[in-house]
Chain A
Amino acid sequence: MNRFAFLLDRLSYEPRRNAKIRLIADYFRETPDPERGWALAALTGALKFRHAKSGLIRGLIMERTDPVLFDLSYDFVGDLAETVALMWPGEPRANRTPPLSEIVDGLATTAKLDLPKRLETWLDALDETGRWALLKLITGSLRIGASARLAKTAVAALGAEVKPDDVELVWPGLEPPYEDLFAWVEGRGEKPFAEDPAPFRPPMLAHPLEDANFRAFDPKEFAAEWKWDGIRVQASAGTDGEGKHVARLWSRSGEDVSEAFPDLVEALTFDGAIDGELLILREGRVQTFNVLQQRLNRKSVTPKLLAEFPAHIRAYDLLFEGGEDLRELPFSERRKRLEAFVAREANHVVDISPLVAFDDWDGLAAARLDPASAGAGDDAAAVEGLMVKRRDSPYVVGRPKGLWFKWKHDPMTVDAVLMYAQRGHGRRSSFYSDYTFGVWREAGEGQELVPVGKAYFGFTDEELAELDRFVRRNTTNRFGPVREVVHTEDQGLVLEIAFEGIARSARHKSGVAMRFPRVSRIRWDKPTAEADRLESLEKLIAEREIA
């Protein structure tokens, strides 16, 4: 366990991708089976323990420490595993440090009632770093900046001729601790059979159009389509060696999200791979991201949820058809194949994302400003801009230059007043980085601020340090972890908030809800009395409803 904890510790501080790969590959070289296989499983998120959960950890720490002190510490550190690892009042004992394989086995097989005792013994035996690594395993999110893809790349680096994609292809047929995989990449064994008929293929990404001098391009060489405001996914399906049909839904970063979308996966009866957008459709109408988020937020997938939030894929591209790899073909060719494919499959959960016709860049600019009249119709509210793609572009992994562009709507902005702040989690933990902001509205004799949203990104690290200092120096009240920050007509801080959409909301006191709000500028210069009013937000909603 010590060696694995040391690896995680190093990874968590190492910013460079190549150095991370080297650290992981070195670990695989130095560590015997099955120990390294369990580490690979941990890094790729393949370990799931039925009884070992965050709640168990909380229970243990509450027994050993003062709950108030725990809450204050957790609020500061912003990470459960780390807080407990640091606070654990371990007494040094002559305990043997358990190897990773013993811990994984113990977590998987120990009866629920015996688990707390077992975990306590381990926590007492390990040092801080070891405790942190163990608790990270249990909470299931390592958050050390090493993705599954990175770990697989490190596995490939062990072999002379193995590419990361080769590992990706055999991966779904494998089980931890992956002894056959290591044997193969190290040239000691056969390539594991069971190639996955529904693998993940890294997607092609676009550059912002603003960065390119696009008016110099010939519009005839480009096609345009709507950029839907959902989640980019890959629907991959095929038949394995034993004749069984397999379908999977992958996220943009290669996470298998099939379990959350059984309604989609069971309908993927085709043989191929589609790149598309995951959306919620009700009676044929695309719902806003707000609605999709409500489905994503639910932990358990119930029949009621499926009926209320029917998931749908709007296809952008076709990567594979049968066993044929289409990715080298130009976009225009793939598009024809996609049209035929979708028409032939006549699948109720998959439809095609229409192209947007345009003659010149001005025409496209007009479509971007008014998607409703340019073909998006009733679905215009779910359009977040345009994708502009070279007609001759092959499907290239990553973000190649000069082929695909995204041309998003300009964000809307509002000048709001900082009202409350709370400490953040993850990268921003221990700084006051979650800001509740408000705008003015009439109240009796004068006016009052009403909170309209929360923003927790958009600023640089330097700006965060300044904001944090402002909050600490201008606190007027505390409600548990929340600090009230001075906000009167002549004192306080104005934040320019950018956001992608705005809608009426019964859940918010102000009656409005913003999509994707973030701090676009800190207006140190602007008096709070000159911040925006609620009426201007209501006007924005009204304008969108008319559109």
Chain B
Amino acid sequence: MRPEDLLIPTPKGLYCPPADAFIDPLRPVDRALVTHGHADHARPGNAAVMATPETIAIMAARYGEEFCRSRQPSPYGERQKVGDVAVSFHPAGHVLGSAQILLEWKGFRAVVSGDYKRAPDPTCAPFEVVPCDLFVTEATFGLPVFRHPDPAAEVEKLLDSVKLFPERAHLVGAYSLGKAQRLMLLLRQAGWDEPIHLHGAMVRVTEAYRALGVDVGETIQVAAAERPKLAGAIVICPPSALRELWARKFPDPVAVAASGWLRVRARARQGGVELPLVVSDHADWDELRRTIVDTGAGEIWVTHGEEDALVHWCGTSGLKARPLRLVGYGDEGEGESAGEEDAPSS
């Protein structure tokens, strides 16, 4: 058999004929397998959705209980038959509930990674290597310039700045699902015991995390009238809010942002960021390459991001690889945050 018998890239997303299901479909379909809750991968309106229980809870919190007609929760590691295919979900370490999807059919194993990272993240289960024949990988940070630093050291920069400017408010632009909660826990680990203030757009997902057992400590939703009084506070908001009128009512706000893109200086300047924190929920160049090798896959498909460099590297390493050039992924922050984590991918 050929890998193309199991998976076909289509304008609606990756299609699996023997399961008659789409993975992370871009348009409503009858049966969707969803890797994680970010808006570019998990869209409302599908008839049936199979995902991890956490992802289903997150989709319900974001889109309302009516986000699909029927739900099939699939806890990590459990095999379920979809058509002729055995489907199982395995931790991807990207955000809470995020999964790689393993498809087993006629002795052939394909893994669709969704988005993933290998770096430790206290808000979600750590990435698990799933050996396979075909590995379909993301490549958001698929360039050798992307090497994510230690996130604890990045958060330390924020705390240093808070110490240096106690009279100013620190507004941290971060994507509301995953990045925000990870930052909260990183801050707690670094000893920040004060309440963390949240922009309204952050509240629903943070509550969903709490309900799923992720304790981020005390958070307070920012009330409009309270803004001028928040000197010395740390406020987490969508990146786009940094440039809005909303931000100006804080005492001499410092524009902080947390994203893997901020390793490129122009990115930070384009967003008007004064204090960039390079904290990413995606695999960096080294992690992408390590993961490809770890899976033992003989064939690599690269879905979205900087495909060209990763495909080139696979070639020089003797691995068969092709770019899928799927469009539509890489805008996790769309609507909420232009210029966020995944905005410039291909």
Binding site for B on A (CB under 8 A): 12-15, 65-66, 68-69, 72-73, 76-79, 82-83, 86-87, 426-431, 461-462, 464-465, 468-469, 472-473, 475
Q: How large is the interface on B (under 10, 10 to 19, 20 to 34, 35 or more residues)?
A: 35 or more
Q: Do B143 and A472 touch (CB < 8 A)?
A: no
A89's closest neighbor in chain B, by CB? Answer: B144
Partner of B312, one of A14, A68, A427, A428: A68
Which residues from chain B contact A12 at a C-beta distance below 8 Å? 265, 269
Partner of B264, one of A69, A82, A462: A82
B321-338 residues with Cβ-Cβ distance < 8 A to A are: 325, 327-328, 330-331, 338
Given the known inter-chain contacts A73-B143, A73-B144, please indicate yes or no for A461 contacting B270, CB distance below 8 A.
yes
A9's closest neighbor in chain B, by CB? Answer: B265
Partner of B309, one of A15, A72, A82, A464: A72
Q: Do B145 and A77 touch (CB < 8 A)?
A: yes
In the complex, whether B215 has a CB less than 8 A from a CB of chain A is no
Binding site for A on B (CB under 8 A): 143-147, 261, 263-276, 306, 308-309, 312-313, 316, 325, 327-328, 330-331, 338-339, 343-346
B147's closest neighbor in chain A, by CB? Answer: A86
Q: Do A431 and B344 touch (CB < 8 A)?
A: yes
Partner of A465, one of B308, B313, B328, B339: B339
Q: Do A431 and B144 touch (CB < 8 A)?
A: no
A145's closest neighbor in chain B, by CB? Answer: B269
Q: Do B143 and A13 touch (CB < 8 A)?
A: no
Give the 6 A-B CB pairs with smallest separation, nearest first: A86-B145, A429-B266, A465-B338, A72-B309, A73-B145, A473-B327
Given the known inter-chain contacts A66-B316, A430-B266, A473-B327, please indicate yes or no for A76 contacting B145, CB distance below 8 A.
yes
Which residues from chain B contact A472 at a C-beta distance below 8 Å? 327, 330, 344-346
Q: Do B143 and A430 touch (CB < 8 A)?
A: no
Partner of B143, one of A69, A82, A427: A69
When chains A and B are docked, how far (Å) is the Cα of A472 from the Cα of B334? 14
Please report whether the interface of chain B is mostly helix, strand, loop or mixed according to DSSP: loop
When chains A and B are docked, how far (Å) is the Cα of A428 from the Cα of B274? 17
When chains A and B are docked, how far (Å) is the Cα of A475 from the Cα of B346? 9
Which residues from chain B contact A431 at a C-beta distance below 8 Å? 270, 344
B266's closest neighbor in chain A, by CB? Answer: A429
Q: Do B266 and A15 touch (CB < 8 A)?
A: no
Q: Do B327 and A76 touch (CB < 8 A)?
A: no
B325's closest neighbor in chain A, by CB? Answer: A475
When chains A and B are docked, how far (Å) is the Cα of A472 from the Cα of B338? 15
Q: Return 9 A-B CB contacts under 8 Å, by A number.
A: A12-B265, A13-B265, A13-B275, A72-B143, A76-B306, A87-B144, A461-B271, A461-B339, A469-B331
Given the known inter-chain contacts A66-B316, A465-B338, A472-B327, please indicate yes or no for A427 contacting B264, CB distance below 8 A.
no
Partner of A73, one of B273, B309, B330, B338: B309
B308's closest neighbor in chain A, by CB? Answer: A72
B313's closest neighbor in chain A, by CB? Answer: A69
When chains A and B are docked, how far (Å) is the Cα of A65 from the Cα of B147? 15
When chains A and B are docked, how far (Å) is the Cα of A427 from the Cα of B266? 5
Q: Do A87 and B270 touch (CB < 8 A)?
A: no
When chains A and B are docked, how far (Å) is the Cα of A14 from the Cα of B255? 10
Q: Do B270 and A66 touch (CB < 8 A)?
A: no
Which residues from chain A contact B346 at a C-beta distance below 8 Å? 472, 475
Which residues from chain A contact B144 at a C-beta distance below 8 Å? 65, 69, 73, 86-87
Q: Do A78 and B266 touch (CB < 8 A)?
A: yes
A473's closest neighbor in chain B, by CB? Answer: B327
A sample of 4 more A-B contacts (CB under 8 A), given A86-B264, A430-B344, A469-B331, is A69-B144, A72-B309, A461-B271, A462-B338
